[in-house]
Chains A and B, each alone.
Chain A
């Protein structure tokens, strides 16, 4: 009894540093954000309580909707490319031959590179005069004169950035899909081979259903990652033209830091966090349901 209470105490002591850290640097900032979002505050003037004004202002703010709409558009385009592309590559390389192992390793390399740095790399590759995308397309005869990819036309900028991000993160889904495909018991695969089912029949009837959980999980991670996109847009377009390519996080950043509208920035952050949370909850419910 005494030993048990002592061991509870000791166990709690081991937890204390991490607990204090999370209370100080995650929970406290979160609560402070709730408070700041109800105030008008520019750092120069003291905070002034304004109730829900910041939220009303956000819903009436055209740029807020432009940013949110652009972020959703980006997410809606890139997610299917990442999921279908990643899954096809995983099917291609899930066996353990040397060439496939090598391909897995190579496709995953861009995942470990920083998003900021890969965006700088693609900022150069997509530059109109100095970049290789135009050079290669000109050499292949696909285009006749250099295309200005970034910062002039919102859709063309989006396309270029999506291409760079597909390159950067497609290996992430691939690795998780390969793990899930390899975890399918060999008896099941062999049984369907004996049935004489064709390859694609096997994929749709056996492999895809058995890896559904991983597919949902990777979708969730991709969607959240895309909704929180910042680095690639900050670096490759800086929100241009006319802030049409400023994502939601970008707009939060602009308000909180360069403009120092802290209360408004906090309100925008909170709206964004709520949207993300809603996606997480929906996906988790779907995942739970797919298990039963």
Chain B
């Protein structure tokens, strides 16, 4: 190969490198621009809602709507605070149901996950499938019979009843995650405690629960979000105004016409308040959220 052709090849290589670098630079900016556009589209509806919740009563009813409030007021929140049975009642209903759901889910699936993963139970595969039954029967289809049962047991209009329904929805996912986490704990950890003469219950409390805390947080997090957000079940089970959860009272308020049309400012105040806990726990516990989604769906 002559010196000239080597130089030409090197030149060509350099030119290609330059072209690629230019292209890379351009793609980088393009990717950046698309990312920012996406973020804007995703955040804009939330930002508009939060801004609208701080508008004055008159401005919230303006046609066309204003983008940025002329003055920041808490009028909408004040109206929401005293709407029907009052915001505190609905907040407590939603929060109480969510906390009960967490308690039921952990109380049922931590022992069950332990039993399934760590004990030689005959026919346990079959039992596991039975416990996951709610995966194949959508709860929407079970609402009528569950409603009839709850009507007899006086569990309609009750936070306990609604939490039981939310536990039905959330049980398969939770059990699946916890069983796998119990199964992943090394046997040596358990054996050391058994040799010390600890009972299975003590082993559960002292060895397993500390070892699988991340999975327990994941399960509690999903139970909270599911319960806090669930709508259809709450709509069916709660017929008394004072037992409504937050989404149900807001849905009822959307068609409120007694004061001449929907109170849009109050509605957005309610949307803002409903969103804060979910987005808050998601941003704080993002690691658990994403790991739960990935491990819960890789079946």
Contact = CB atoms under 8 A, between A and B. Distances in A.
Interface of A: 4, 7-8, 10-15, 17-19, 21-22, 25-30, 32-33, 36, 89, 92-93, 99-100, 102-103, 105-110, 112-117, 120-125, 127, 129-132, 134-135, 138, 167, 171-172, 175-176, 179, 214, 217, 221, 224, 228, 230-231, 234-235, 238, 249, 252-253, 256-257, 262, 265-266, 269-270, 272-273, 276-277, 280
Contacts of A230: 140, 231-232
A273 B138 contact: yes
A115 B279 CA distance: 13
7 contacts: A22-B131, A28-B149, A108-B282, A113-B275, A230-B232, A262-B144, A266-B144
A172 to B, nearest CB: 8
Given A11-B119, A21-B108, A36-B144, 10 more contacts: A12-B115, A15-B124, A17-B107, A19-B131, A22-B171, A26-B142, A109-B282, A114-B247, A134-B64, A230-B232
A89 B34 CA distance: 9
Contact of A125 (B45, B134, B248, B275): B45
A213 B248 CA distance: 37
Q: Enumerate the 10 nearest inter-chain pairs by beta-carbon distance, A residue then B residue, closest first.
A: A11-B119, A114-B229, A14-B115, A116-B231, A18-B112, A29-B145, A116-B247, A269-B141, A14-B111, A32-B145
A7 B120 contact: yes
B174 to A, nearest CB: 10
B215 interface: no
B49 A112 contact: no
B233 to A, nearest CB: 11
A124 B49 contact: yes
Given A107-B42, A272-B141, A92 B279 contact: no
Contacts of A129: 63-64
Interface in B40-98: 41-43, 45-46, 48-49, 52, 61-65, 67
B148 A32 contact: yes
B45 A122 contact: yes
B35 A18 contact: no
Contacts, number: 263
Interface stretch (B3-11, B184-192, B285-293): B285-293
Contact of A4 (B41, B115, B120): B120
A107 B40 CA distance: 10
A25 B267 contact: no
B164 interface: yes
By secondary structure, the A interface counts as helix
Interface of B: 31-32, 34-36, 38-39, 41-43, 45-46, 48-49, 52, 61-65, 67, 107-109, 111-112, 114-116, 118-122, 124, 127, 130-131, 133-134, 136-138, 140-149, 164-165, 167-168, 171, 175, 200, 225, 228-232, 235-236, 246-248, 250-251, 254-255, 262, 264, 267-268, 270-271, 274-275, 278-279, 281-283, 286, 289-290, 293-294, 297, 299
A9 B76 CA distance: 58
A29 B144 CA distance: 8
A92 B38 CA distance: 11
A29 B231 CA distance: 20
B38 A8 contact: no
Contacts of A234: 231-232, 235, 251
Nearest to B282: A112
B41 A167 contact: yes
Contact of A21 (B34, B148, B167, B268): B167
Contacts of B141: 33, 252, 269-270, 272-273, 276
Contacts of A249: 140, 232
Contacts of B119: 7-8, 10-12, 14
Contacts of A17: 107-108, 111-112
Given A17-B108, A107-B42, A131 B251 contact: no
Contact of B140 (A121, A217, A228, A238): A228
B183 to A, nearest CB: 13
B116 A130 contact: no
A114 B107 contact: no
* B122, B235, B282, B297 — most chain A CB neighbours (10 Å): B297
A257 B297 contact: no
Contacts of B136: 277, 280
Nearest to A34: B145
B175 A18 contact: yes
